[in-house]
A and B are shown apart, each in its own frame.
Chain A
Amino acid sequence: MTPRCVHVPCTLVVCLVLGPWGVAQARSVEQGAPATPVVSAPAEPGVLGRRIAAAGAGDIIEVEAGVYTERIRINKPVTVVARGRAVLDGGGNGDIVEITAPGVTLRGFTIRNTGIDLDQENTAVRVLAPRATIEDNTLEDILFGIDLREAPDSIVRRNTIGGKALDIARRGDGLRLWRSDRTIIERNTIHNGRDAIVWYSADVEVRNNYAYECRYGLHLMFSDRVTITENEFSRNSVGIYLMYSARVELRQNRLIGNRGPSGYGIGLKETDQFSVRENLIVGNRAGVYIDGSPFTDKQPGVFVRNTLAYNDIGITFLPSARGNELTDNNFIDNIDQVSIAGRGSLDANRFWKGERGNFWSDYSGYDQNRDGVGDFVHESRTLFENLMDREPALRLFLFSPAQQAIEFVGRALPAVRPEAKFTDEVPLMRPVSIEFVPGHGEGRGTSRLLLISGVVLLGLGGGILASARDGARDRIGRHPGAVGREGEIG
Chain B
Amino acid sequence: MSALGILPTVGVERTPPSVLRNTMTIAQRELREAVRSRWFLLYTLAFAVLGLAVSFVSASGSGGSGLSGFGRTTAGLVNIVLLVVPLMALTAGAASIASDRERGMLSYVFAQPVWRLEVLLGKYIGLAASLLASLSLGLGACAVILAWKGIAARPASIVWLTGLSFALALGMLSVGMLISALARKASVAVGTAIFVWLILVFVSDLALMAGTVALRLRIEELFLLSLLNPLQVFKMWTLHGVDATLDVLGPAGLYASEEYGARLHVMFGAFMLAWVVLPLSAAAAMLSRRSPL
Which residues of B are found within 8 Å of A392, using beta-carbon distances? Answer: 250-251
If the complex has contacts A261-B254, A395-B250, are A464 and B132 also in contact, measured as CB distance less than 8 A?
Answer: yes
Segment touching B, from A85-93, A122-130, A474-482: A474-482
CB of B116 within 8 A of chain A? no
CB of A443 within 8 A of chain B? yes
A486 and B38 form a contact (CB under 8 A): yes
Which residues of B are found within 8 Å of A458, using beta-carbon distances? Answer: 136-137, 140-141, 144
CB of A211 within 8 A of chain B? no
A488 and B209 form a contact (CB under 8 A): no
B130 and A464 form a contact (CB under 8 A): yes
B252 and A445 form a contact (CB under 8 A): no
- Which range holds the interface residue count of chain B? 35 or more
Which residues of B are found within 8 Å of A486, using beta-carbon distances? Answer: 36-38
Our pick among B31, B95, B143, B201 for the contact of A468 (Cβ within 8 Å) is: B31
Number of A-B contacts (CB under 8 A): 263
B202 and A333 form a contact (CB under 8 A): no
B63 and A332 form a contact (CB under 8 A): yes
Which residues of B are found within 8 Å of A391, using beta-carbon distances? Answer: 212-213
Tell me how far the C-beta of B152 lies from the nearest C-beta in chain A, rounded to whole angstroms: 4
**Docked CA distance A469–B34 (Å):** 11
If the complex has contacts A400-B232, A405-B206, A457-B158, are A487 and B37 also in contact, measured as CB distance less than 8 A?
Answer: yes
**Docked CA distance A388–B62 (Å):** 25
Interface centre among B62, B63, B187, B245 (most CB of A within 10 A): B63
**Docked CA distance A485–B106 (Å):** 14
- Contacting residues of chain B (1-53) with chain A, CB-CB under 8 angstroms: 25, 28-29, 31-39
Our pick among A361, A387, A473 for the contact of B63 (Cβ within 8 Å) is: A361
B223 and A396 form a contact (CB under 8 A): yes
Convert A397-421 into 0s and 1s, putting 1 for each residue whose CB lies closer than 8 angstroms to a CB of B.
1111110111000000000000000
**Docked CA distance A481–B134 (Å):** 26
Number of interface residues of A (CB under 8 A): 80
**Docked CA distance A205–B253 (Å):** 38
Query: SS class of chain B's interface: helix, strand, loop or mixed?
Result: helix
A468 and B187 form a contact (CB under 8 A): no
**Docked CA distance A489–B254 (Å):** 43
Nearest A residue to B213 by beta-carbon distance? A391
Our pick among B35, B37, B148, B252 for the contact of A396 (Cβ within 8 Å) is: B252
Convert A433-451 into 0s and 1s, putting 1 for each residue whose CB lies closer than 8 angstroms to a CB of B.
1101000001111111111
Nearest B residue to A452 by beta-carbon distance? B155
CB of B175 within 8 A of chain A? no
Which residues of A are found within 8 Å of B120, using beta-carbon distances? Answer: none
**Docked CA distance A397–B31 (Å):** 35
- Contacting residues of chain B (141-172) with chain A, CB-CB under 8 angstroms: 141-148, 150-156, 158-159, 162
Tell me how far the C-beta of A312 lies from the nearest C-beta in chain B, rounded to whole angstroms: 5
B158 and A450 form a contact (CB under 8 A): yes
B63 and A330 form a contact (CB under 8 A): yes
Which residues of A are found within 8 Å of B129, using beta-carbon distances? Answer: 464, 468
Our pick among B25, B64, B145, B212 for the contact of A393 (Cβ within 8 Å) is: B212
**Docked CA distance A242–B133 (Å):** 53
Which residues of A are found within 8 Å of B152, using beta-carbon distances? Answer: 442-447, 450
Interface centre among A433, A444, A489 (most CB of B within 10 A): A489
**Docked CA distance A456–B28 (Å):** 22
Nearest A residue to B134 by beta-carbon distance? A461
If the complex has contacts A453-B143, A464-B130, are A394 and B190 also in contact, measured as CB distance less than 8 A?
Answer: no
Tell me how far the C-beta of A470 lies from the nearest C-beta in chain B, rounded to whole angstroms: 10
Which residues of A are found within 8 Å of B37, using beta-carbon distances? Answer: 484-487, 489
CB of A63 within 8 A of chain B? no
Nearest B residue to A361 by beta-carbon distance? B61
Convert B184-213 into 0s and 1s, putting 1 for each residue whose CB lies closer than 8 angstroms to a CB of A.
001100100000000001100110110011
- Contacting residues of chain A (313-367) with chain B, CB-CB under 8 angstroms: 330, 332-333, 335, 359, 361
B99 and A489 form a contact (CB under 8 A): yes
If the complex has contacts A476-B29, A488-B99, are A396 and B250 also in contact, measured as CB distance less than 8 A?
Answer: yes
A310 and B250 form a contact (CB under 8 A): no
CB of A9 within 8 A of chain B? no
B69 and A475 form a contact (CB under 8 A): no
A475 and B253 form a contact (CB under 8 A): no
Which residues of A are found within 8 Å of B202, using beta-carbon distances? Answer: 401-402, 405
Which residues of B are found within 8 Å of A58, using beta-carbon distances? Answer: none
CB of A32 within 8 A of chain B? no
B82 and A401 form a contact (CB under 8 A): yes
CB of B92 within 8 A of chain A? yes
Segment touching B, from A47-55, A148-156, A277-285: A277-285
CB of A460 within 8 A of chain B? yes
Our pick among A387, A467, A484, A489 for the contact of B91 (Cβ within 8 Å) is: A489
CB of B248 within 8 A of chain A? yes
Nearest A residue to B109 by beta-carbon distance? A481
Tell me how far the C-beta of A119 lies from the nearest C-beta in chain B, rounded to whole angstroms: 28
B78 and A399 form a contact (CB under 8 A): yes
Which residues of A are found within 8 Å of B280, using beta-carbon distances? Answer: none
CB of A377 within 8 A of chain B? no
Nearest B residue to A405 by beta-carbon distance? B202
CB of B182 within 8 A of chain A? no
Interface centre among A391, A396, A398 (most CB of B within 10 A): A396
14 A-B pairs in the complex with CB atoms less than 8 angstroms apart = A263-B247, A280-B67, A310-B67, A392-B251, A396-B232, A399-B78, A401-B82, A453-B159, A454-B146, A457-B137, A457-B139, A457-B159, A462-B133, A485-B33
Residues of chain B touching chain A, judged by Cβ–Cβ distance below 8 Å, are 25, 28-29, 31-39, 58, 61-67, 69-72, 75, 78-79, 82-83, 91-92, 95, 99, 105, 108-109, 129-130, 132-137, 139-148, 150-156, 158-159, 162, 186-187, 190, 201-202, 205-206, 208-209, 212-213, 217, 219, 222-223, 226, 231-232, 235, 239, 245, 247-254
